[in-house]
Structure 1
Amino acid sequence: MNAQRRSVLSRAAIAVALTLAATACSQTQTRPDLAGRGHCDAAALTWAVGQPLDEATGRKLFQQSGAGLWRVVAPDNTFSSDRREDRLNVRVDKANVVTGVDCG
């Protein structure tokens, strides 16, 4: 390969790399765990305490909370201690009965 052709290919590779870098920097994060849809409010969700956590109960809690994401906190699992105003925490016991609902 001659020097002129290598130079053209090198410039093309640099241009592609710069374009990819610029595109990556300009995109916003769309991961659901980074951007919830709103502010969580668990004040009206005390009705769920004592109820078994099934799919219907989970959906209703999520919709009524206004949260962007939610997690189930069971006695035997580990979870991060970071606080997020858009996350609903549904606390359950070993029998999968809701023991508490809060945001964070």
Structure 2
Amino acid sequence: MKFRLLILCLSSFLVLALNANAAGIADSHMKKSIPCTSCHKTMKGGDDVERTDCLKCHNEEQLKVAGEKIKPKFDNLNPHKPHFEDLACTECHKGHAEQVNFCASCHGNR
């Protein structure tokens, strides 16, 4: 019984420690009490989140509006309307790391 209690306590501290250092969109989702399993199908490492997973909560119209707000940072181009049809959201929005300006990999950092 004591062993189980110890394992439970250590597991709780581990989860808290890992979540305290969350970055990127994982952090914003955590602050809104959205569980990891809302995006991740499994809780195994390397479980990539697909665009369809994002679109379960974020619709295309919301993305266009959000993109319009940040257009000045991208020479008046909306990064949510890229010329790549199926660009994964995770190319820019990293789950557990800082966001990346994917467009800048070809177009330069603006």
Q: What TM-score comes out, normalization by structure 2 length?
A: 0.28
Say which one has the larger Rg.
Answer: 1
Q: Which has the higher strand share?
A: 1
Q: What TM-score comes out, normalization by structure 1 length?
A: 0.29
